[in-house]
Structure 1
Amino acid sequence: MRRAKRVDHLTREELDGFFIHLDADCLDDGLMPAVDFRVPGGLLWNELVTALRVALASGKAAGLEITIYNPRLDEDGSAGRGLADALVAALGTAAP
């Protein structure tokens, strides 16, 4: 019920649109060490993909920005690849 209410909020008629701001530090600390503020218990990759897909499926997303990822803190590049893979999974089917 709670999830449906949030989706309804994104799709309500009086909403012209919204902008998606994604800070990489919302991701779980084990997945995303390449941020200045690490969060244990943050989102997993599949949860990020689902949240973005739901937001995009509303048809009202006007833009997206990704911030906070710090490549200097990503020694082997795996966090950046994970983020890129999640974005491709979420956005790949949303393109017109």
Structure 2
Amino acid sequence: MLVIKNLIEVKKLNKIIFYDEETNDEVLFEIIDSTIFNGNKYLLVADKDEQATILKETIDKNDNLIYSLIENEEEFQQISLILMESDEYDIEFG
């Protein structure tokens, strides 16, 4: 789990609704940051409780944008380290 700490004037311009197909739950996330790594786009998002996660952007066969949780632990750690370099917020692993 990631927790956003000391959010310093990050412009939250975009929101995204994450739909979990397994539980049928919807969670509203605010996009905090994004990065591109190895040709893939990743979003750092936070929910209303400032619990954060990283979503990976992909495109399905119908050209729809799909955002999914990163299942590969090594990939998650690499992207986390990149996002931790920002001076606009602090990330804590919980």
| Fold-level similarity (TM above 0.5) | no
Structure showing the higher helix proportion among its residues: 1
TM-score for the superposition, normalised by structure 1: 0.28
TM-score for the superposition, normalised by structure 2: 0.28
